[in-house]
């Protein structure tokens, strides 16, 4: 699949548009310029049609957020998400997504997106003017690489994903396994399992019973009623003793 297509311009080798973003930071309005964001830095950018929309929330932003540390260890100074939304919407979305590794930039007037030649009409959805989905690597304000979604109906999502960008930035990069662990407060076996994961340098998502999930959810997913229950890359490992056996067998 080609990274670009005839309808949208490939701006590789050109500088990013010179604009100022109006951002709400707590109770204050601040302005960030193109220089503030890109000058002297290696920045990965991904742009999407809208905050809180399905693909953007379920896949596009979460995976970039998940791989942020891998990008950083391979020379990337920051990851930026741009959308033609206002700053209040973008801030609320980032908070809802718990996307602390991503800087969200509100291109409320579409100036940056228009300058990229990627402002499209989505009036049929009641969206007005929005960004076409794309990603790019920017080095000191110069666009080094672009991945622009193909000109197909709807909202294609084939080439602007985080894994495609990471493969370009660092073809040999190794991503951590996806690890989730069901726990309960004050559970010594849960503490043991989390210590084992940390010892083996495996970042994990903790799913706390009573807060993030119910006992019914635990039984439905694992077939068990005890905690901890650990999953690694989709494989159900089991409790703390099972996890210890898993590591000993490696």
Question: Which residues does the annotation mark as catalytic?
Answer: 56
Termini Cα distance of the chain: 37
Task: Using alpha carbons only, give the angle 123, 105, 119 rounded to the nearest 5 degrees.
Answer: 30
In the sheet where 134-139 sits, what is the strand order? 103-106, 78-83, 42-48, 134-139, 142-148
106 neighbors 118 (Cβ within 8 angstroms): no
CA atoms within 13 A on the CB side of 146: 23
DSSP secondary structure code for residue 111 in this structure: H
Distance of alpha carbon 77 from alpha carbon 81, whole angstroms? 14
11 neighbors 138 (Cβ within 8 angstroms): no
Contacts of 6 (CB under 8 A, 6+ apart): 151
Task: Using alpha carbons only, give the angle 128, 114, 103 rounded to the nearest 5 degrees.
Answer: 90
Q: Which residues pair with 15 in a beta bridge?
A: 142
């Amino acid at each position: 699949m080609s990274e670009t297509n005839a309808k949208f311009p490939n701006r590789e080798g050109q500088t990013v548009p010179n604009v100022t973003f109006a951002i709400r930071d707590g109770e204050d309005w601040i302005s960030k310029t193109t220089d503030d964001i890109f000058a002297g830095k290696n920045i990965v950018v991904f742009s999407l049609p809208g905050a809180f929309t399905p693909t953007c929330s379920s896949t596009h932003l979460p995976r970039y957020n998940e791989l942020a540390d891998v990008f950083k260890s391979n020379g990337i100074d920051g990851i930026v998400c741009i959308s033609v939304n206002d700053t209040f919407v973008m801030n609320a979305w980032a908070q809802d997504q718990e996307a602390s590794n991503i800087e969200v930039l509100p291109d409320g007037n579409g100036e940056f997106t228009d300058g990229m030649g990627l402002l499209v009409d989505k009036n049929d959805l009641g969206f007005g003017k929005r960004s076409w989905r794309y990603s790019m690597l920017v080095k000191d304000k110069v666009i080094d690489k672009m991945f622009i979604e193909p000109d197909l109906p709807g909202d294609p999502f084939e080439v602007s994903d985080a894994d495609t960008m990471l493969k370009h930035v660092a073809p040999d990069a190794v991503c951590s396994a996806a690890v989730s662990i069901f726990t309960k407060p004050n559970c010594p076996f849960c503490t043991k399992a989390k210590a084992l994961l940390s010892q083996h340098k495996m970042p994990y998502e903790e799913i706390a019973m009573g807060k993030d999930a119910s006992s019914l959810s635990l039984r439905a997913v694992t077939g068990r009623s005890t905690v901890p229950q650990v999953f690694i890359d989709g494989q159900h490992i089991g409790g703390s003793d099972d996890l210890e056996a898993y590591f000993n067998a490696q």
